[in-house]
Structure 1
C-alpha cells in the first residue's frame, strides 16, 4: 500500500504527542508539564480519550465565555460565576481534601491571592468534596480566598470548565470579560502562578496576558 509523505508525518506527529502525554502522565509534575506546550498536549490527549459530556452540557472552550456556574459558598450562600466577579480576571482552582497535590498547592494559591489586592486576579477555589470535610479541612488550613462547593460527577464544574476526565488539581484563568484564557492540570509550585497568569510578582494588577 502506498503511503504518502504527508501521512507519514501526520502519524509521526500523533505518535510524538502520545509519547509526550505518556511521559507527562507517568513522570508527574516537571518542567514539561509546567510549560504551556506540555499542558496543551496533555489536555488535548486527555480530551481525545474522554467520554462525551452529558447531552446539553455546555463545556468551556479557550477564547469563549465560560458557562455560568452557581455554587454554594461554605456558608450556603449561592455564588454565580463568572458574574460575581464581572470585570475582574479570575483564577479558578478545583480541588478536593483527598487530593494530596491539591492540598500541597493551596498555600501558594493563598500567597498569590494576597498579592492581588482589590483589582487584581480573583482566586476562587471549588471543592469537589463533602461540605463537612471541606469545612473541617479549612479550619485546620485556612485560606484567604473564597471557597465554593460542588459534587463530583460527569457534569461537575471541573468538567464544565474543560476538564473532561476530572483530573485534580485543575485550574483555569478567566479574563475580565469572562472568557477562558488558560487551563492547567496539576499543582502550581512556588512562584509559578505570576508567570502563568501574566501578573507581575507581588504587584496587584487587573491585567491578564493571553
Structure 2
C-alpha cells in the first residue's frame, strides 16, 4: 500500500520545466524545478517519529580553515532543526552520500551504507544528503527511509549548495569522502555493493581502517 501511495506522491511532485540532465545509475532522467506538496504538520511530525533517524554528526574539533562545507546550513531531517554542516562535521573523517528517492540504485545502496556506518563506529561519520530534486518534500523522504529501515543521519540539499560546495556530480548515488579538516579527499560517482568496498575506499582516500 505504501509503495502505491509513494508512487502517487512522486507523480504529484515530479518536477516540470527548466530541464536538467540527472543521471541515476545507468538511466538518464530529465528533471527540472522541484515543487513541494503541502503536508499537515502533524503528519510530518509523525513521519519523523516513525523514521527515527539518527541525529546529524556533532563536531569533535573546530572547523578547518578550508572546510568545503563552511557556512552551509541545511535541515537535519531527523530533528527538523537547521544544521551547520561545516561546524557539525568538523574533526572526524566524513562519508557523505548524495542520493534521491527516485534513484533505484540508491535504494539498493542505502542499507549497505547503514551497515557500514555501524561497522565504522566513531572512526568515520556517515551523512546522507538528499539531492535538490525531491528535497522540497521531507515527508516523502522520511517515508522512503522508513520503508527501507535506514536510520542514517540525513539532510536535504534544497538549494543545491551542498552539492556545489563538494563539487559533487549530478550522478546518483555519489559518495564524497571528506577529511577531518573539512577538505574533500575524493568524489566517487559509483554504487557500492558491500561494506568491504566502502571500507577499501575509505582506507585508500582517507587513510582510516574501518
TM class by shorter chain equals 0.5 to 0.7
Any idea what SS the aligned residue of 2:171 has? coil
CA RMSD of aligned residues (A): 2.4
What CA distance in whole angstroms lies between the structure 1 residues aligned with 2:110 and 2:120?
16
Aligned partner of 1:66 in structure 2 is 68
Matching of residue 122 in structure 1 with residue 125 in structure 2: yes
Aligned partners of 1:101 and 1:186 also within 8 Å: no
Q: Which runs of 5+ in 1 are unaligned?
A: 1-24, 29-63, 200-205
Check whether the contact 1:158–1:170 (CA below 8 A) recurs between aligned residues.
no
Corresponding residue to 1:168 among 172, 188, 203: 172
User: What's the CA shift for 1:207?
Assistant: 5.2
CA deviation after TM superposition for structure 1 residue 65, in Å: 2.9
Match of 1:147 in 2: 154
Does residue 158 in structure 1 map to residue 163 in structure 2? yes
Alignment of 1:94-133 (within 5 A): 94-118=98-122, 120-128=123-131, 129=134, 130-133=137-140
User: In the alignment, is the contact (CA less than 8 A) between 2:67 and 2:86 conserved in 1?
Assistant: no
TM-score by length of 1: 0.60
Give TM-score scaled by structure 2 length: 0.60
2:197 to 186, 192, 200: 192
**Over alpha carbons, which structure has the higher Rg?**
1
Distance 1:88 1:176 in 2: 4
CA distance in 2, matches of 1:188, 1:174: 17
CA gap of 1:67–1:147, structure 2 versus 1, over 3 A, is: closer
